[in-house]
Amino acid sequence: MLAQLRAGDESAFSEIVHRYHSTLMRLAIAFHPNRAFAEEMVQDTWMAVVDGLASFRGQSSLKTWICRILSNRAKTRLVREGRMIPLSALQSSEADEPAVDETRFLSNASWAQAPQGFGDQSPESRLMLKEAIGCLLRALGGLPVNQRTVVTLRDVEGLEAEEVCNILGIGETNQRVLLHRARSKLRQALEGHRIGA
C-alpha cells in the first residue's frame, strides 16, 4: 500500500481515506467533541499525510502513523487554546480516583448496593440498544479528554494497547489507568439503564 501511495496511485489513497477516515473522525471528536473542529483536524491530517508520505519510514503501521499525526496536531492546538491540560498534569489525580464511589461499599468493603441494571445479556430490543448508545455517547462526551481518547482508540476502534500508547505518546501504565477510569465512569453512567439483564 505504501509503495502504491508513493507512486501516486489515487485508488490507493482513496482506499486509505475510506479505511481510516472514521477512525480519524472519532479520534478528533475524542479530543474535542465539536464536529467543525474534528473535520478541520481530519482534513489537516490527510494533507499532512500526503505531504509526509516521502518521509514516512514505516517504523509503525500506516494507521498508527496517520493517527499520531492527528493526535499531535490536536494536542498542540487544544493546549494552545487552553482546552486541554497536558497529560502530565492529570496523571496523579486520575490515578487516585476510585473506580466505584466508596459510598457504594459497606465498611467491610463488600457491595452495599449491588451493581444495577445491565449485564451480560444483549439489549432486548433495538430501542433499548438505541437508548443505551445515546446514553453512552453522552457519557463519553463527559469524560476528561485523556480518558476519552484512550477509550475511543481501545474500545471503540479496537486498537491494541501498544498502538494507543504510540499514537497518544503515553506509557503503558498511564494507558491502563486512563482506560480503567473511562470504563468505570461509562459503567456508572449506564447503571440503572435496562439494556438487558
Considering only CA atoms, which of 53, 46, 52, 50 is closest in space to residue 23?
46
Q: Which stretch binds another protein (CB under 8 A): 16-24, 60-68, 81-89, 162-170?
A: 16-24
The CA-based dihedral angle spanning residues 3, 7, 10, 15, taken in that order and rounded to the nearest 10 degrees: 0
103: contact with another protein by CB under 8 A: no
- Contact range with another protein by CB under 8 A, out of 58-66, 82-90, 109-117, 163-171: 109-117
Among the residues of the chain, which ranges form H helices? Answer: 2-6, 10-31, 35-52, 62-80, 91-96, 126-141, 145-151, 161-168, 172-190
Q: Is 77 in the site for another protein (CB under 8 A)?
A: no
Site track 27-46 with another protein (rule: CB under 8 A), x = hit: ------------x---xx-x
Closer to another protein at the Cβ: 8 or 58? 8
Which residues, 6 or more positions from 110, have their beta carbon under 8 angstroms from its beta carbon?
A: none
CA separation for the pair 98, 92 (Å, rounded): 12
For another protein, which stretch binds (CB under 8 A), given 58-66, 75-83, 84-92, 96-104? 96-104
Is residue 136 part of the contact set for another protein (CB under 8 A)? yes
In the numeric block, the cell 480503567 is attached to 180
Q: What is the amino acid identity at position 101?
A: D
Q: Give me the residues that bind another protein (CB under 8 A), please.
A: 8, 10, 13-14, 17-18, 21-22, 25-26, 39, 43-44, 46-48, 50-52, 54, 98-100, 102, 105, 108-111, 114-115, 117-120, 129, 132-133, 136-137, 151, 155-156, 158, 161, 176, 179-180, 183-184, 186-187, 190-191, 195-197
